[in-house]
Structure 1
Amino acid sequence: MTSPHAKAKAYPLTRPSVKRYLSNPQLLLRPSIRLKTSLYTLTVAIIVLVILALNVVTSPPKVPEDVNTVPSHDTPADTTEGKDVAKGKDAHLVDEEIQRSFEEPDFALLSGAQPSEIGCDIPLEGEDKGVLMFIGIFSAADKKGRRDLYREVILPDFPPDMFTVKFILGTPAYPENPVSQEAVARSMLLSKVEAEMEEHGDMVMLPMIDNIDLGKTHEYFKWVAKHYAGEGRVKGRPRFVMKADDDTILVMPNLISGFKDLDCSTNVYWGTSAGRSHYFGDYFRGLAYAMSWPLVSWIGNADMPLAHIIKIEDARTGQWLRHLDPVTDPVKRIDMGWTMGDWNQLDVTTETVGLHWCKLDEWVREQHARLLQIWSEADRPYTPEMGVDPRLSVKKGKQTPEEAQKEHQRQKELGWDVGGNIE
């Protein structure tokens, strides 16, 4: 037995070995060990909290609410896959698969309500009247100057009781660093766009990253189809829907004369094949083309996979239409030929329907003034009632202009016309 008067031994000054801790667990309860353990635990907790905080800060911001009312649905651009495509990364699609997607039919298109089942009961008068045409001019968030120019020079030509004209935008791409000067600039740009939309009311922002190769055209048709969806007559619904570039000038009187007598319940596909590529089959060039309501509703309501909506937007539209049943849903193709095209390749007359490649603002003003001058010299008022007989435009469009022939020859010499690719 230990004597009560025996002197207590102090803890050794040296740290016990690991082996001793294992054989004597009670040593862990020593005050110095408890303090160190607490400090270690607190340090680890702080590190974990810092990592979590950094993860929240660096995570991609949420997609802002649309500043226009649009249907709530996902798009390929909302996925990582879509963003990779926007950056030109096609790791998920090899060239053969892309090419095959332009040839094979899409199940969503084949299985949905077909155009002949949709119909087109759209009056142009009365309380539930629609419009002759909805024109979507493809734009971008930072192109306000071009939009203002069109508002001043081009859009006043189009009577609002016959046309609904909107600029079609996507959202700007996200910067790689969400906490950067680029991110601040993006937020400021979106604020300006929202203010512009409230001021003019002529813009639609699609819920997707703005990139034509991401399927913007399909997203546009989807928006139109959903926006004017409904049983029976829907006020404001268009008989025809056009997609146009923001460097195209459309000749208003000839649009009216070309569409006013067409039956919108038939599958009308209108545009120009002049100057197109033969690589992707039959389609109308993307400078401006139109379809009747049943076709737009059919396409816009089809939930197609990414492979069938990306790349070469005008060729995509032609590909979708090629797979309609030719018996129950024949397509009426109206090819305006060389009455539409790049302004420096055309013989511009009163039969002309559209001038493309107006890249510079001064070219927009010059070419619009040129049109008005030509119509004035022909003693033909530039008014909705004075459009040229569309049959004259179609006939004129079959004649290849001299400047277009020169351009074709130049492209051949440059090696662009591979195997008769260019028309």
Structure 2
Amino acid sequence: MTSSHPAKAYPLSRPSIQRYFTSPQLLLRPSIRLKTSLYTLSITIILLVILALNATITPSTTPPTDVNTVPSHDSPADSGEGKDVAKGKDAHLVDQEIQRSFEEPDFALLSGKQPHEIGCDVPLEGEDKGVFMFLGIFSAADKRERRDLYRRVIIPDFPPDLFTVKFILGIPAYPENPLGPEAVSRSMLMNKIEAEMDRYGDMVMLPMLDNIDLGKTHEYFKWVAKEYSGEGRVKGRPKFIMKADDDTILVLPNVISGFKDLNCAHNIYWGTSAGRSHYFGDYFRGLAYAMSWPLVSWIGSADMPLAHIMKIEDARTGQWLRHLDPVTDPVKRIDMGWTMGDWNQLDVGIETVALHWLKLDEWVEQQHDRLLQIWSNASKPYDVDNGISPRLSIEKGKQTPERAQKEHQRQKELGWDVGGNLD
């Protein structure tokens, strides 16, 4: 019997690469086909994973929603946004969830400690002395010149034994490029802000990006509520808390006379409805409004979702107050009407309570001098003891000034007043 070499089911060594080119039939071996398939499948899976990850982290090309509310025009009506405001959309209120939030209740407000349970025991004398009013003037990091102007012209009107006055700021926005020139400018700005805070001690930096549309007012109330929280009497606690814009002058004598006989244990809501939109219900305009301590403590202690604190801050405040039980927590609304408003629309006189829209620094000084002259003409010192009766201001506020009527007509012609939504 002729001997032969034993059969080999699998080569003991792997063919060289060159042999695959000279003998392509080697690729048809079962083991080679299996490995080739596995390699191909693995590479395919890796490529798919890479593509999926790339799609996830690729930034959207859709431009971000602009939520900046700083006016760049003479009047809201001139911007073309007035019609949307009157319809209740606002310039940026386009999300249906946000629109619904003005109508639906908030559980945090409903379930928290209610104002009548909070009370207001604030003495103005003694060891646990509080203050008559906390005045928060909304500012921004880059508004140093306006703050210095108010420190020099407006704030000296307010006696420190009765008022705690603070500028309310948020954190400046972060630039997209953390190493670019904008980041350097921001860092330099923050250093200036810290130095200013150390020097004057009259600034509050809220832990949020500075944007009124993103809940700055609620964050302000939250800060005040926490700063003066505690059972019983708390030193420095205010009877009343006011929010004001940095283009508003509050007429000190009439602010004092308007609040001095009010009981801060009651739910006081003070301001003006003159010129507001009716779409959002009963609220006072954001140029300046005030509430008693129980209301601010109640609002500031409520952990509300973003949808219930953002957009149209003054209307938000009115919406929060509508959560209150009218039996156990009735709200006393004090509407000063047309004694508060844009300075170029009012009949400014001894009854005036606040002037707004003082966009230029020289306007601030001119209108403040105008108020001093009005009090001088009435033979009254411009101080805490010489305000007029709030009853007279309220009566005067019911009369729409001629210039306000003309401005309203102009806005109607521009399409702002839709369906009579404005006073």
Show the counterpart of 1:358: 358
Q: 2:255, 2:322 → 1: CA distance?
A: 25
Equivalent residue of 2:408, what SS? helix
Q: Letter of the aligned partner of 2:396 in structure 1?
A: K
The C-alpha deviation readout for 1:29-74, integer Å capped at 9, x for no partner, is xxxxxxxxxxxxxxxxxxxxxxxxxx9xxxxxxxxxxxxxxxxxxx
Q: Evaluate the alpha carbon distance shift between residue 13 and residue 225 of structure 1 in structure 2; reply closer, same or farther with a 3 A threshold.
A: same
Q: TM-score, normalised by structure 1?
A: 0.80
Q: Is the Cα–Cα contact under 8 Å of residues 375 and 381 in structure 1 kept in the other structure?
A: yes
Show the counterpart of 2:112: 112
Percent identity, aligned pairs only, is 79
1:275 correspondence with 2:275:
yes
Alpha-carbon offset, residue 281 of structure 1: 0.7
Map 1:84-95; keep pairs closer than 5 Å: 86=67, 95=95
Show the counterpart of 1:266: 266
Q: Is the Cα–Cα contact under 8 Å of residues 141 and 189 in structure 1 kept in the other structure?
A: yes
Alpha-carbon offset, residue 304 of structure 1: 0.4
Q: 2:310, 2:66 → 1: CA distance?
A: 9
Q: Is the Cα–Cα contact under 8 Å of residues 130 and 235 in structure 2 kept in the other structure?
A: yes
Q: TM-score, normalised by structure 2?
A: 0.80
Alpha-carbon offset, residue 94 of structure 1: 5.5
Q: Letter of the aligned partner of 2:366 in structure 1?
A: E
Equivalent residue of 2:136, what SS? strand
Equivalent residue of 1:123, what SS? coil
Equivalent residue of 2:373, what SS? helix
Equivalent residue of 2:278, what SS? coil
Q: Evaluate the alpha carbon distance shift between residue 84 and residue 305 of structure 1 in structure 2; reply closer, same or farther with a 3 A threshold.
A: farther
Q: 1:115, 1:225 → 2: CA distance?
A: 12
Q: Evaluate the alpha carbon distance shift between residue 13 and residue 349 of structure 1 in structure 2; reply closer, same or farther with a 3 A threshold.
A: same
Q: Is the Cα–Cα contact under 8 Å of residues 271 and 289 in structure 2 kept in the other structure?
A: yes
Show the counterpart of 2:205: 205
Q: 1:309, 1:331 → 2: CA distance?
A: 20
Show the counterpart of 2:285: 285
Q: Evaluate the alpha carbon distance shift between residue 120 and residue 208 of structure 1 in structure 2; reply closer, same or farther with a 3 A threshold.
A: same
Equivalent residue of 1:257, what SS? helix
Show the counterpart of 1:230: 230
Q: Is the Cα–Cα contact under 8 Å of residues 173 and 209 in structure 1 kept in the other structure?
A: yes
Show the counterpart of 2:394: 394
Equivalent residue of 1:384, what SS? coil
Alpha-carbon offset, residue 322 of structure 1: 1.0
Q: Is the Cα–Cα contact under 8 Å of residues 85 and 214 in structure 1 kept in the other structure?
A: no
Alpha-carbon offset, residue 325 of structure 1: 0.2
Q: 1:255, 1:205 → 2: CA distance?
A: 26
Q: Is the Cα–Cα contact under 8 Å of residues 135 and 241 in structure 2 kept in the other structure?
A: yes
Q: Letter of the aligned partner of 1:353 in structure 2?
A: V
1:315 correspondence with 2:315:
yes
Q: 1:14, 1:390 → 2: CA distance?
A: 100
Equivalent residue of 1:380, what SS? coil
Equivalent residue of 1:344, what SS? coil
Aligned residues: 359
Show the counterpart of 2:419: 419
Show the counterpart of 1:305: 305
Alpha-carbon offset, residue 96 of structure 1: 3.0
Q: Is the Cα–Cα contact under 8 Å of residues 339 and 353 in structure 2 kept in the other structure?
A: yes
Show the counterpart of 1:251: 251
The C-alpha deviation readout for 1:164-221, integer Å capped at 9, x for no partner, is 0000000011111112111111111011000000000000000000000000000000
Q: Is the Cα–Cα contact under 8 Å of residues 68 and 213 in structure 2 kept in the other structure?
A: no
Q: 1:154, 1:137 → 2: CA distance?
A: 11
Q: Evaluate the alpha carbon distance shift between residue 128 and residue 17 of structure 1 in structure 2; reply closer, same or farther with a 3 A threshold.
A: farther
Gaps of 5+ in 2: 1-14, 31-56, 58-63, 70-89
Q: 1:95, 1:318 → 2: CA distance?
A: 20
Q: Evaluate the alpha carbon distance shift between residue 268 and residue 14 of structure 1 in structure 2; reply closer, same or farther with a 3 A threshold.
A: closer
Alpha-carbon offset, residue 337 of structure 1: 0.4
Show the counterpart of 2:334: 334
1:172 correspondence with 2:206:
no
Alpha-carbon offset, residue 95 of structure 1: 3.5
Q: Letter of the aligned partner of 1:289 in structure 2?
A: Y
Show the counterpart of 1:30: none
Q: Evaluate the alpha carbon distance shift between residue 361 and residue 85 of structure 1 in structure 2; reply closer, same or farther with a 3 A threshold.
A: closer
Map 1:173-188; keep pairs closer than 5 Å: 173-188=173-188
Show the counterpart of 1:132: 132
Q: 2:376, 2:18 → 1: CA distance?
A: 104
Q: 1:237, 1:318 → 2: CA distance?
A: 23
Q: 2:304, 2:97 → 1: CA distance?
A: 15
Q: Is the Cα–Cα contact under 8 Å of residues 136 and 243 in structure 2 kept in the other structure?
A: yes
Q: Letter of the aligned partner of 1:326 in structure 2?
A: P
Q: Letter of the aligned partner of 2:386 in structure 1?
A: M
Alpha-carbon offset, residue 127 of structure 1: 1.0
Alpha-carbon offset, residue 86 of structure 1: 4.5
Q: Is the Cα–Cα contact under 8 Å of residues 269 and 331 in structure 1 kept in the other structure?
A: yes
Equivalent residue of 1:279, what SS? helix
Q: Evaluate the alpha carbon distance shift between residue 191 and residue 339 of structure 1 in structure 2; reply closer, same or farther with a 3 A threshold.
A: same
Q: CA RMSD in A?
A: 2.8
Q: 1:102, 1:346 → 2: CA distance?
A: 30
Q: 2:181, 2:230 → 1: CA distance?
A: 44
Q: 2:178, 2:393 → 1: CA distance?
A: 52
Q: Is the Cα–Cα contact under 8 Å of residues 265 and 292 in structure 2 kept in the other structure?
A: yes
Equivalent residue of 1:133, what SS? strand
Alpha-carbon offset, residue 302 of structure 1: 0.2
Alpha-carbon offset, residue 261 of structure 1: 1.1
Deviates more, 1:262-271 or 1:385-394: 385-394
Gaps of 5+ in 1: 1-11, 24-54, 56-82
Alpha-carbon offset, residue 97 of structure 1: 2.3
